[in-house]
Structure 1
Amino acid sequence: MVRTNTWAAPVTLLLATGGLLGVSTNLAKLAGAVGLDPLAFLAWSVVGAAVVLVGVCSLRNQLPSLNARTIEYFVVSGLVGVAAPNLLFFAAVPRVGAAFVALAVAFPPLFTYLGALLLRLERFQTTRAAGVVLALGGAALLAALKLSEPAVDTFWVAATLTAPILLAGGNIYRTVRWPPGATPEELAPGMLATSGVMLLGVGAIAGLSDGGSEAFSLTIPTDHLAPTALVIAQAATFSLMYLLYFSLQKRGGPVYLSLLGSVGAVVGVPVAVVLLGEAPPQGLAGGSILIALGVGLVTLGSPKGG
């Protein structure tokens, strides 16, 4: 019974957070279809989520204390964990498809696991190592088949595959530098608020430097309701996802947290295929089986590798 309580909460958080991640990727696909530029969609969604979480924390008297440690934490985690990788992912969706981006989010486990071993955040466990390798193998299979497709945009495929490295760095950083005594409810709004400021700053600087590049526009089309509705939907998704995200990190550690991308892929790819009409990626069945087995093996070990 004690063992069940050890893994039940992390597994539940993993499935919920990964599912929301899969939904988020497909919302980005819909945003592009209605004329929303990637930066505008991401920036205003992050700002909206930050406003929601700051409001909830204010009502609960759970606002984080601002000091050198927490400000550093918000800036670094916001840059490598939210702003930079998500901007790469969202910009890539129209070019490589939501299904492939959802799969790329499944790549961080191996990088995170290696980093955790090097920094001695985990001790080596054969079962967990095998799970990480299987999950990564499933995602790598799907990515390799994607690269073999004719007329594939190799630049954006490479850019998409860069983002998981940033996510892995963020997973390690947030664990190593977690402010003493801070709760997940305190850290999530600070990270999102900082990320929102960064993204708005990118848009403002780009607008001043080149007269308003479409690629870095912060404008939300107002000729119909769909763009605004999608921003609201993404902000709601981010609010819940990043609140659960920190809870998952606290309970499961960085390696277990990194598996949420694999879960997001299992959710996001079918949504992209069934609801958005994308062609199923080659090797979808085999890749999904490997990912599912990998998550299962990591779950069998201690969530923090202890």
Structure 2
Amino acid sequence: MTTPTESNWTIPLASLLGTGVFLGISTNLAKLAAGAGLNPLAFLAWSLVGSTAVLAGVGAARHRLPPLTARTTEYFVVSGLVSVAAPNLLLFAAVPRVGAGFVALAIAFPPLFTYLGALLLGMEEFQTRRAAGVAFSLGGAALLAALKLSEPDVDGFWVVATLSAPLILAVGNIYRTIRWPEGATPDELAPGMLAASGLMLLAVGALTGTLLRDVARFSLVVPTDNAAPVLLILAQMAAFSFQYLLFFVLQKHGGPVYLSLLGSVGAVVGVPIAVLLLGEAPPQGLAIGGILIALGVGLLTFGDPQAM
């Protein structure tokens, strides 16, 4: 086994922590948006459009715009669907029903599915240390989620919908690694993926607004009776810009399994925010679950995080 060096783990670890922090913030912004009367589709779609403009503007200034070829177009569309549009719409819509804390916990589940997929596809060999890291991280998240599900008056449909998002995210983790366009850099891929996902959500809103005018949950309308909805979209736009730029750096340097741990980091950040700032009841077992998640991240970090 290769001796660990600073370059092996510092970039993946810094990217993991940074992406996880912005992910935890995004989850709680979704709850604030719901409280401000913002439809989940409108909040997500306009935030993605804004973050696309930010990253594309930075790329244009640096002459690093994403190349538009058949391969990159496929990559942007598929990764935009399974990595951003579908899972985020599910999670953002679930926040008002099950709480930001539970949604933050749900996004900690992809590591096991991603790890199993990577093993089945021969993307990495079985290693006891890495398997233990995934097991600890998933165990911590599972403990927190199980205790949440034991609470009375839980909305079963939205619990299932929330827990389906990690499966979609795991598919995205594997796909983006397998189909990474040759020679492409993270700052080229991020705006393309966000642009594709934003256009998908705008299309959903436009079509359902035409065909199903009475279905308010598909609305793209942003309330303008006060400044809160617009300010929340701007905040989410900034969070997405940093989150998805770091996301591709993490993908490149850490690989799909290590990247999948960002949900666990997001849970450790998002749950305390939901409790301390949004007034949600602290989940049972938070301390034990957080320790297990941190131990799992450590086992996958120290050494070669990618190990592929």
Q: Fold conserved (TM > 0.5)?
A: yes
| 2:133 matched residue in structure 1 | 131
Cα offsets for 1:112-137 (capped at 9, x unmatched): 00111111111111111001011011
**Are residue 7 (structure 1) and residue 13 (structure 2) matched?**
no
Quick check: 2:66–2:188 contact (8 Å CA) kept in 1?
yes
**Residue type at the aligned position of 2:130:** R
C-alpha separation in 2, matches of 1:121 and 1:269: 32
Aligned to 1:48, the other structure's residue is in SS state helix
Q: TM-score, normalised by structure 1?
A: 0.98
| 2:45 matched residue in structure 1 | 43
Cα offsets for 1:179-238 (capped at 9, x unmatched): 000000100000000000000011111111111521011010000000000000000000
**Residue type at the aligned position of 1:304:** Q
Q: TM-score, normalised by structure 2?
A: 0.98
C-alpha separation in 1, matches of 2:190 and 2:99: 28
Quick check: 2:4–2:304 contact (8 Å CA) kept in 1?
no
Q: Which runs of 4+ in 1 moved over 6 A?
A: none
**Are residue 234 (structure 1) and residue 236 (structure 2) matched?**
yes
**Are residue 155 (structure 1) and residue 162 (structure 2) matched?**
no
Quick check: 2:4–2:302 contact (8 Å CA) kept in 1?
no
**Are residue 285 (structure 1) and residue 287 (structure 2) matched?**
yes
Percent identity of paired positions between Structure 1 and Structure 2: 70
| 2:261 matched residue in structure 1 | 259
| 1:145 matched residue in structure 2 | 147
| 1:276 matched residue in structure 2 | 278
Structure 1 residues 299 and 167: CA distance shift in structure 2, 3 A: same
C-alpha separation in 2, matches of 1:304 and 1:142: 27
Identify unmatched segments of 5+ residues in structure 2: none
| 1:83 matched residue in structure 2 | 85
C-alpha separation in 1, matches of 2:203 and 2:39: 15
Superposition map of 1:1-306 within 5 A? 3-306=5-308
C-alpha separation in 2, matches of 1:287 and 1:64: 40
Cα offsets for 1:84-104 (capped at 9, x unmatched): 000000000000000000010
The number of residue pairs the alignment matches comes to: 306
